[in-house]
């Protein structure tokens, strides 16, 4: 595990569940109950989703496909019906969780904050995840209507085989491999409002303008990657292409895979936020579900020929060619440490860098540092400040305004190259573009990077929730500007906290689902002042279970992954 932080200095700082039965309604008696309002039609199956729990952890439905049954129960903070459902749910969990059944609650009330949901879960002794569905994408899709309404799901097909009050019979039937005899029953409980279900709302969805709403949204948030020569596998260059991939767009947005931006918006705000807003997500999903209508007007995506720039930050002041390396088709490649003579005749202040990677499948990361002229010590210990780098999903690094790092003349640039074979031999030729302050200019503050690393971790086999914690104690006052989260395929969650000298802790970065394929530098919207004696604490969760498909895949292909860190 590692966490990299960018800081500036103040003064002379481093510039830095016993089987049991709850009081459940008898199914026959429940069938006789009449709801106060008509219940929505329940969907035939549940679509994949990824939602964040009240504790800030992400949960994806399709990761549970190996369970014999999945039970989803609707939640509302402060509702008496939640109290009743919680007691029944916990009893059923105690009875069926040992048999592999998965339980969760979903809160589709936009007015319930995460704090309210967490407090309600603690008050009612709810031990299953309570997931926040504030955009109503999940509850709306499955046809939820009532607090406490349960949905029993057959995981292999994701069919909803039962909807109604919590009851043991449909769960037991799935566990035993038998058919569920009663598919649906009314629920006599508090209603949940879904404004998007009204005929007026649906008519409005069909009128969402591709020209004025959808295409500009894609251009703003997606085209930077989805363009000719971009890193995405296809370009959004006209309506027909967007329509073709509309189902995939819906899936990617519902599972929070796209746009690739991992920080939890409920915890902190960052500059250059690449995520969609809640309103944009609802609009995009509603447009797709309405059939992705073309409507009238020009096609903005077709009117401009978007082509990825060779150098996204513009022409570099200096381009460094890293020596070529032939990546074998299979096996494991030790870290390579090539060096390049520093061509600078005089020192300069560095403000940005971009990596141009020729073999994205085969390059895991690039680290760099200045090796001073005359240095006798070998290895990374002799390196000075970084001169560019690369991790998957982060090609460019730009220092905050008014901040830079000094690159002296002479010596060498050293690189740590991590190559991973990907099934065929390939010659990798990388370049680093450097951008300096103009002659006569200099930054107001000096940038330093502080790696927060735990190099001695051991993840037990089949552990899907292994925690590791590392911290750094600040000896002087400092200002924190950016943070980078880094783990490998087994990393699934990360959190960064500050504990001040009084012991008060504050979460400043929460990553509900860590995605190895998209590692970015997050610049805080407002830099964070850190007092001397404070600790910055990094928490990571690793999944070494069979449910973690990327890690399982890596184990089958030696050389595809280094040990997690």
3-state secondary structure 349-399: EEEEEEEECCCCCCEEEEEEEEECCCCCCCCHHHCCCCCCCEECCECEEEC
Q: Which residue has the higher pLDDT, 522 or 560?
A: 522
Q: Can you give the pLDDT at residue 307?
A: 95
**pLDDT tier, 456 (very low <50, low <70, confident <90, very high otherwise):** confident
Q: What is the rounded CA–CA span in Å between residue 261 and residue 221?
A: 11
Q: What is the rounded CA–CA span in Å between residue 108 and residue 192?
A: 8
Q: What is the rounded CA–CA span in Å between residue 538 and residue 497?
A: 7
Pair type for strands 396-398 and 431-436: unpaired
Q: Which two tokens stand for residue 534?
A: 């404070």
Q: Can you give the pLDDT at residue 1?
A: 67
Q: Can you give the pLDDT at residue 286?
A: 98
438: which DSSP letter?
P
Q: In this predicted model, what pLDDT tens digit does every residue of 142-158 receive, in sequence order?
A: 999 999 999 999 999 99
In the beta sheet, which residues pair with residue 495? 510, 539
Domains belonging to the chain, first-starting first, are 2-13+454-556 (2.60.120.230), 41-193 (3.40.30.10), 199-303 (no CATH), 318-448 (2.60.120.230)
- Residue range 108-131: average pLDDT? 97
Q: Which two tokens stand for residue 362?
A: 């085969």
**pLDDT tier, 448 (very low <50, low <70, confident <90, very high otherwise):** confident
3-state secondary structure at position 89? helix
Q: Which two tokens stand for residue 358?
A: 């020729």
Q: In this predicted model, what pLDDT tens digit does every residue of 304-345 receive, in sequence order?
A: 999 999 999 999 999 999 999 999 999 999 999 999 999 999
The beta strands (E) that lie in 36-108 are given as 50-53, 58-60, 70-75, 102-107
Q: Can you give the pLDDT at residue 557?
A: 45
Q: Is residue 106 predicted with pLDDT exceeding 60?
A: yes
Q: Are 344 and 318 in contact (CB under 8 A)?
A: yes
- Residue range 517-524: average pLDDT? 90
Q: What is the pTM of this model?
A: 0.88
Q: Which residues are CB-neighbours of 122 under 8 A, at least 6 positions away?
A: none
| Four-residue CA torsion sign, 183, 186, 188, 191 | positive
Q: Which two tokens stand for residue 390?
A: 């690369």
* Average pLDDT of the chain to the nearest whole number: 90
Q: Whose CA is closest to 336, among 359, 363, 373, 318?
A: 363
How open is the CA angle 260-262-264, to the nearest 5 degrees? 140
Report, in angstroms and rounded to the nearest whole number, the Rg of the chain calculated over CA atoms: 26
Region class of 379: left (phi > 0), else alpha (psi between -120 and 50), else beta: left
User: Which stretch of DSSP H or E encloses residue 249?
Assistant: helix 246-254
Q: Can you give the pLDDT at residue 33?
A: 40
Q: What is the rounded CA–CA span in Å between residue 507 and residue 89?
A: 31
**pLDDT tier, 174 (very low <50, low <70, confident <90, very high otherwise):** very high
**pLDDT tier, 554 (very low <50, low <70, confident <90, very high otherwise):** low
Q: Can you give the pLDDT at residue 5?
A: 60
3-state secondary structure at position 254? helix
Q: Can you give the pLDDT at residue 129?
A: 98
Q: Can you give the pLDDT at residue 455?
A: 78
Q: In this predicted model, what pLDDT tens digit does every residue of 40-58 receive, in sequence order?
A: 999 999 999 999 999 999 9
Q: What is the rounded CA–CA span in Å between residue 349 and residue 117?
A: 49
Q: Distances from the Cα of 207 to the Cαs of 194, 195, 393, 451, in angstroms?
A: 19, 17, 35, 50
Q: Are 173 and 181 in contact (CB under 8 A)?
A: yes
Q: What is the rounded CA–CA span in Å between residue 542 and residue 561?
A: 15
Alpha helix stretches (DSSP H) within 304-366:
none
Q: Whose CA is closest to 91, among 26, 171, 18, 169?
A: 18
Q: In this predicted model, what pLDDT tens digit does every residue of 240-256 receive, in sequence order?
A: 999 999 999 999 999 99
Q: Quote the distance between the C-alpha of residue 193 and its chain's center.
A: 29
Q: Are 399 and 425 in contact (CB under 8 A)?
A: no
Q: Can you give the pLDDT at residue 552?
A: 67
Q: What is the rounded CA–CA span in Å between residue 265 and residue 222?
A: 19
How open is the CA angle 293-294-297, to the nearest 5 degrees? 140
């Amino acid at each position: 595990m590692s966490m990299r932080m960018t800081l500036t200095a103040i003064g002379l700082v481093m510039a830095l569940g016993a089987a049991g039965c709850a009081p459940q309604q008898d199914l026959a008696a429940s069938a006789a109950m009449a709801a106060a309002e008509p219940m929505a039609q329940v969907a035939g199956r549940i679509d994949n989703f990824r939602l964040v729990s009240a504790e800030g952890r992400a949960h994806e439905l399709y990761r549970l496909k190996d369970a014999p049954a999945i039970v989803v129960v609707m939640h509302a903070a402060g509702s008496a019906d939640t109290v009743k459902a919680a007691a029944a749910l916990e009893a059923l969990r105690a009875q069926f969780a040992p048999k592999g059944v998965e339980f969760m609650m979903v809160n589709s009330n936009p007015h319930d904050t995460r704090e309210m949901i967490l407090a309600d879960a603690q008050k009612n002794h709810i031990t299953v995840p309570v997931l926040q569905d504030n955009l109503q994408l999940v509850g709306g899709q499955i046809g939820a209507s009532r607090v406490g309404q349960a949905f029993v799901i057959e995981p292999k097909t994701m069919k909803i085989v039962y909807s109604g009050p919590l009851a043991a019979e449909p769960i037991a039937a799935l566990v035993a491999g038998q058919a569920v005899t009663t598919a649906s029953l009314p629920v006599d409980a508090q209603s949940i409002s879904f404004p998007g279900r009204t005929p007026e709302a649906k008519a409005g969805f069909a009128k969402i303008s591709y020209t004025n709403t959808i295409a500009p949204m894609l251009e703003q948030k997606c085209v930077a990657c989805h363009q000719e020569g971009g890193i995405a596998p296809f370009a959004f260059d006209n309506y027909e292409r967007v329509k073709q991939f509309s189902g995939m767009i819906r899936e990617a947005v519902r599972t929070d895979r796209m746009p690739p931006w991992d920080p939890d918006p409920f915890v902190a705000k960052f500059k250059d936020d690449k995520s969609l807003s809640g309103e944009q997500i609802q609009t995009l999903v509603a447009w797709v579900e309405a059939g992705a209508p073309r409507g009238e007007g020009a096609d903005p995506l077709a009117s401009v020929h978007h082509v990825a720039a060779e150098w996204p930050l513009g022409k570099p002041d200096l381009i460094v060619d890293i020596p070529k390396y032939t990546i074998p088709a299979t096996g494991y490649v030790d870290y390579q440490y090539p060096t390049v003579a520093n061509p600078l005749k005089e020192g300069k202040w560095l403000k940005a860098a971009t990596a141009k990677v020729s073999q994205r499948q085969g390059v895991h990361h690039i680290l760099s540092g200045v090796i001073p002229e005359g240095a006798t010590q070998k290895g990374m210990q002799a390196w000075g400040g970084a001169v560019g780098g690369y991790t998957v999903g982060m090609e460019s690094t730009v220092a905050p305004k008014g901040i830079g790092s000094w690159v002296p003349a002479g010596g060498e640039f050293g690189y740590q190259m991590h190559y991973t074979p990907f099934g065929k031999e390939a010659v990798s030729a990388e370049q680093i573009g450097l951008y300096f302050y103009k002659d006569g200019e200099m930054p107001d503050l000096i940038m330093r990077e502080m790696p927060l690393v735990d190099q001695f971790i051991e993840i037990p086999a089949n552990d899907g929730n292994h925690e590791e914690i590392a911290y750094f104690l600040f000896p002087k006052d400092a200002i924190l500007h950016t943070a980078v989260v880094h783990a490998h395929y087994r990393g699934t969650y990360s959190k960064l906290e500050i504990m001040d000298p009084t012991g008060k802790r504050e979460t400043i970065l929460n990553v509900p689902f860590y995605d190895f394929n998209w590692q970015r530098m997050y610049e805080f919207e407002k830099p964070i002042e850190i007092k001397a004696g404070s600790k910055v604490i990094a928490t990571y969760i690793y999944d070494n279970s069979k449910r973690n498909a990327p890690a399982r895949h890596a184990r089958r292909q030696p050389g595809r992954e280094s040990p997690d860190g």
